[in-house]
Chain A
Amino acid sequence: MPSDAAATSFEQASREPRWAWLYSQGLGVLCGQLTVLLLAVGSVVLAATRDGASAMIAMDDIRGFFAPPSAVHLWFYLLIPTLGLYALNTLLATWLNVARRWRAGIRAWHAYAAAVVHVGFLLGLLAHGVGGLWGGAHGQLVLGSAWQSLDDGRQARLVSLDAPRLPDGGLKQIWAEVEVRDAAGRQTTSTVSYNGPLSSGLGSHLLLLTRPVSLPVAHFERAGTRCQLEVDGHCELARVDVSLLYLHPPAAGGGGALARVRVEIPPSHGAEEGAEEGAGEGAEEFWLAERQATRLADGSNLLLERIERRPGILLQRRYAPGNPWALAASIVMIVGLALMWRRFLPAERRKTQATSTATNEVL
């Protein structure tokens, strides 16, 4: 009877705590639609102010909305509390729903499917916060045949580069085989491509292929020993440490190129070489032209034999701490959706499914 129903409803309402609105479906729907509205406004604002107030907003960064704060980003400032309230509503509603079902003795996995999807959503929000506040691009790195230090403490070098072409001559893909070694000296091989970055920390540290480059390599000779150096590389030539600091012009090989070289001669080195005791010890920097030799302080000659160009790759360094959280959110959400597969079926098929399951159980 309606009066009974009204009385029950009143009774239920009076038993609800005062903060029941915080975990109500109505608040969730309201927050969802408010998010839709604010993001729709934001999409128009971002498009209109891309070169103005929104110029500092790139990738998934949210710090750009505050650098400096601007009235045009009011939609975003309102979005933060809206999503905060949405997250709180989802968390409380999910917790209470799971607790209620568990206490009622419900143990079927699919009964908790929606809760799993909700957890995925909360992890997704966390990912946006973490990535948006702490992520960012950290310059570029050129990888050639010499070992280069990476941000995560490992070292990498390019082993081979393949650039297959399409029938019309266009670039199909870049395949760069890269050797990576960790602090313990363990080596692994990875392939870097336009859709295959070098990554670590579940995608939080990324080196993304920007383009292939041509790297100048300088060939040095001293006292019958030889080494090849890329810019910023160093090698030892008969116990003398040689570093290549700069090449001018850096993009052009062949004649006329100049190399800025730093040489460190260890103490007592001269004695071993047969020169005057202690002669020439210390560091010196100088310019050296191609096919030109210079006399070092210890009396030996350092020759820049030639400069040649070798393939290399230009990589974009990116720190994306939100990626592992987003990955976790994706996995949890997919699991949740998979658990609720029955709900995707038409009602008539669901009935058939239930009947056949029941029949099987009876059999």
Chain B
Amino acid sequence: MPDSTVAPSAVSEFAQALPLYVALGCYAAALLATFAWSKIAVWLLRVGAVIHFTAMLYRGLAIGFFPLTNKVESFSTAALAIALVTAATWRDVRCYAGSLLALCVITLLVALQFPLGLSFPPPLMRTIWYPLHVPLSFTAYALWAAAAAAALVWLRERDPAWLLRVDRLALQGFGVWSVSMVCGGIWGVVAWGAYFMWDVKIIWSVILWFHYASFIHLRLTPSLSDKPWVRPLLALVGFVWVLVAYVGTSFFFGRSSHAF
């Protein structure tokens, strides 16, 4: 989707961005706290997520729509999804919490590299299917990132509990992604007349679905029962696919029906 016109606002661009910078500071402090004072890390994360959510809510109210109309809001919402999933699945394990918080900080930092002005959504975005499809997609991305982080912990500790966590997070991501694809498909039908197109972003969405669909069957495959490392490995590969689907297709594949 192309960016729409910039909405006039009495509040300066800096004031709009300030809560996002504060949230970024909280996430960065939480990341540092996982190394030194892990007990307060989760609280810093929660405070950052509340500020971040409030900042996005303000942007939404200013444009009268879900705040997902340009790249800054796309990356910011992705970072918020990672923060919320990290808080919801919190484990006081540096490798797990630290890697997710690092991802959250990087994603929000990327968001702040784009122009921070507000944009009105173009007419094609004005449907209930859009604010259902995109946030669900980002939630699935965040769950799969958490599955990859859990896979890293398993590779270090070989604790079966973390293997179960990898399985569950991957399955949760798959369920959310499936619902997101259904919403996106319905939006595609009402906007373009087709639920699927040979478009790189959509192809990569299907790739993610197939990857995690086969992933959740690995546990049930008898020939792989003595190879528990396969699932963490594919969880990490899946996260690379997530990065290609989200960032790669928007920036490195040229034309797409999805601008972000």
Residue of B127, B178, B198, B214 touching A60 (CB-CB under 8 A) = B198
Contact with A along B194-216 (1 / 0, CB 8 A): 11111010011011001101100
Q: Which residues of B contact A128 (CB under 8 A)?
A: 196
Q: Is A326 an interface residue (CB 8 A)?
A: yes
Known contacts A43-B203, A59-B198, A323-B189; is-contact A33 B214 (Cβ 8 Å): yes
B:80-139 near A, CB below 8 Å: 120, 123-124, 126-127, 129
Q: Is B258 an interface residue (CB 8 A)?
A: no
Contact with A along B152-189 (1 / 0, CB 8 A): 00000000000010001001100100110010011101
A208 and B198 form a contact (CB under 8 A): no
Q: Which residues of B contact A42 (CB under 8 A)?
A: 203
Q: Which residues of A contact B195 (CB under 8 A)?
A: 60, 127, 322-323, 326
Residue of A194, A203, A347 touching B189 (CB-CB under 8 A) = A203
Q: Which of A148-156, A163-171, A268-276 contacts B (4 or more CB under 8 A)?
A: A163-171
Q: Which residues of B contact A344 (CB under 8 A)?
A: 168, 171-172, 175
A35 to chain B: closest residue by CB: B210
A329 to chain B, nearest CB (A): 9
Report Cα–Cα, A321/B109, bound state, in Å: 44
Q: Is B221 an interface residue (CB 8 A)?
A: yes
Q: Is B18 an interface residue (CB 8 A)?
A: no
Known contacts A47-B253, A59-B194, A167-B8; is-contact A343 B189 (Cβ 8 Å): no
A29 and B218 form a contact (CB under 8 A): yes
A:176-206 near B, CB below 8 Å: 193-197, 203, 206
B216 to chain A, nearest CB (A): 9
Residue of B5, B127, B175 touching A195 (CB-CB under 8 A) = B127
B130 to chain A: closest residue by CB: A195
Residue of A25, A131, A196 touching B220 (CB-CB under 8 A) = A25
A343 and B171 form a contact (CB under 8 A): yes
B3 to chain A, nearest CB (A): 11
Report Cα–Cα, A61/B199, bound state, in Å: 12
A32 and B217 form a contact (CB under 8 A): yes
Residue of B120, B185, B200, B221 touching A26 (CB-CB under 8 A) = B221
B182 to chain A: closest residue by CB: A330
**Category for how many chain B residues contact A:** 35 or more
Report Cα–Cα, A203/B171, bound state, in Å: 31
B183 to chain A, nearest CB (A): 9
Q: Which residues of B contact A131 (CB under 8 A)?
A: 194, 196
Q: Is A174 an interface residue (CB 8 A)?
A: yes
Known contacts A29-B221, A195-B191; is-contact A334 B182 (Cβ 8 Å): yes
A29 and B254 form a contact (CB under 8 A): no
Q: Is B255 an interface residue (CB 8 A)?
A: yes
A:17-62 near B, CB below 8 Å: 24-26, 28-29, 31-33, 35-36, 39-40, 42-44, 46-47, 50, 54, 57-61
A50 and B254 form a contact (CB under 8 A): yes
Residue of B7, B123, B213 touching A168 (CB-CB under 8 A) = B7
Q: Is A295 an interface residue (CB 8 A)?
A: no
B126 and A43 form a contact (CB under 8 A): no
Report Cα–Cα, A24/B255, bound state, in Å: 39
Residue of B168, B175, B178 touching A346 (CB-CB under 8 A) = B168
A30 to chain B: closest residue by CB: B214
B214 and A194 form a contact (CB under 8 A): no
B193 and A59 form a contact (CB under 8 A): yes
Nearest 8 CB-CB pairs, A to B? A32-B214, A195-B127, A318-B193, A25-B221, A194-B123, A330-B182, A43-B203, A170-B5
* Interface of A toward B, CB cutoff 8 Å: 24-26, 28-29, 31-33, 35-36, 39-40, 42-44, 46-47, 50, 54, 57-61, 121, 127-128, 131, 135, 137, 166-174, 193-197, 203, 206, 208, 316, 318, 320, 322-323, 326, 330, 333-334, 337, 340, 343-344, 346-347
Given contacts A42-B203, A43-B204, 7 further A-B contacts (CB under 8 A): A25-B217, A47-B253, A127-B195, A323-B195, A330-B186, A337-B179, A343-B171
